[in-house]
Copies of this chain bind each other. A is one copy, B any other.
Amino acid sequence: MIYFDNGATTFPKPRSVLNAVNRALRLYGANPGRGGHSMSLKASEIMYECRGNAAKLFDVESPDKIIFTYNCTTALNYVIKGILKKGDHAVISSLEHNAVVRPLEKLKEQGVDYSVAEYSYNDDETIDNFRNAIRPNTKLVICTHASNVFGVRLPVERIAALCKIHGVLFCVDAAQSAGVVPVSLKESGIDFLCTAGHKGLYGPMGTGILAINSEYLPDDIIQGGTGSYSLELKQPKILPDRYESGTPNLPGIAGLNEGIKFVLNRTESAIERHENQLAKLLYKGLNDTQGVELYVDMLKHSKCLPVVSFNVENLDSEETAQILDKKFGISVRAGLHCAPLAHKFFKTEERGTVRAVLSVFSDYRQVDYFISSVNKICKYKRVKKGCN
């Protein structure tokens, strides 16, 4: 079995991640921050260690500014809903995921508006588009670090600088890039970074992170018990408690902690190098295959993530994925990938795309097999077409 659906969630996970989840469940499965006994303290310790490692990875001032959430979507909702109020305006890119678009569409009901700045292969043009989209009432710019469908990257450091000039808050959706593309919140001035724990950070599903690098704090969207200031009927304002109500996903966070340590040890640049080499081979192989449509020239746009979206001529993307699964034992995702704007931009909103995403565990052999499998599908299609 070959798993190239790492854009949805990475698989396999490092052994240390599985062991950590297992240990958390078996040895210190107590509620962190809600008891003074040894097991609960051990649980709190692991959470704090994970905050520290995430703060290190994203270069955030303090572990307390790492907020654990259910997933990246929740983190994005916290930022978007916590900042934008009636009369406010936001700017997003034309590559955004529904995790950004749908909360904004919802906020329209409350008098919040947003504009879409077109992505361009030319960074200067992208920056111009963002600049032109900013209005006097723009309060927040949100954009993905890299498209989850096409892998193209946005110049987030430059957008951060633009936002600083205009006094606008800036949030990056790093769901697809975290663990692959290094980012420093302190250096770049990105105010908020939201990411999934279960993709490039190799943690289990059920983990997300909101990293804060801003003095301005979003309003809290979810309130409840925090294990702190229990007599107060109001949500406490201290971090991370303000944004972490109720029992956290301790086993998941214990796993995420090991996932982040795995990334820190290997380094993101080494991971990026490995994955990009393979992605380029994959791209080249598919590009040389008659009957394959590709959307982004990965050899020309070398800063792409290891995400290869394609289609086989005359085949629905879902159909191609089905054949890859059933006949060749290859897992990929097909369809629309929850990113309608990106599909419109690349004109794939009708068919969707087949998306192959690599991980640190992918290897040359797998890429070869993948290319030859797609090759066989294309050949079979051509033969079949010839017979008709």
Contacts and interface: CB of A to CB of B under 8 A. Distances in A.
Nearest to A31: B8
A321 B74 CA distance: 35
A73 interface: yes
A338 B39 contact: no
Interface stretch (A131-139, A218-226, A292-300): A218-226
How many of chain A's residues touch chain B, expressed as a range?
35 or more
Contacts of A178: none
Contact of A248 (B12, B206, B226, B333): B206
A29 interface: yes
A70 B246 contact: yes
A98 B103 CA distance: 26
Contacts of A103: 222-224
Contacts of A235: 102, 105-106
Copies of this chain, complex-wide, total: 2
B18 A30 contact: no
A363 B281 CA distance: 61
A230 B337 contact: yes
A13 interface: yes
A11 interface: yes
A151 interface: no
Interface in A1-49: 1, 3, 5, 8-9, 11-13, 17-18, 21-22, 25-26, 29-31, 34-40
A157 interface: no
A247 B102 contact: no
A196 interface: yes
A226 to B, nearest CB: 8
Contact of A222 (B12, B36, B73, B333): B73
Contact of A74 (B13, B206, B222): B222
A168 to B, nearest CB: 22
Given A205-B248, A331-B39, A338-B225, A29 B5 contact: no
Given A25-B18, A98-B233, A99-B224, A251 B105 contact: no
Interface string A43-72: 000000000000000000000000001111
Contact of A21 (B25, B40, B232, B331): B25
A74 to B, nearest CB: 6
A255 B334 CA distance: 28
Contacts of A206: 70, 206-207, 247-252
A90 to B, nearest CB: 14
5 contacts: A1-B39, A13-B25, A73-B225, A198-B247, A230-B338
The 7 closest A-B pairs by CB, nearest first: A206-B249, A73-B246, A225-B338, A230-B336, A73-B224, A8-B31, A102-B223
Given A70-B246, A71-B246, 20 more contacts: A1-B39, A5-B31, A12-B29, A13-B25, A13-B29, A18-B26, A21-B25, A35-B321, A72-B246, A77-B224, A97-B225, A98-B226, A99-B246, A102-B233, A106-B234, A204-B250, A205-B249, A226-B338, A230-B336, A231-B336
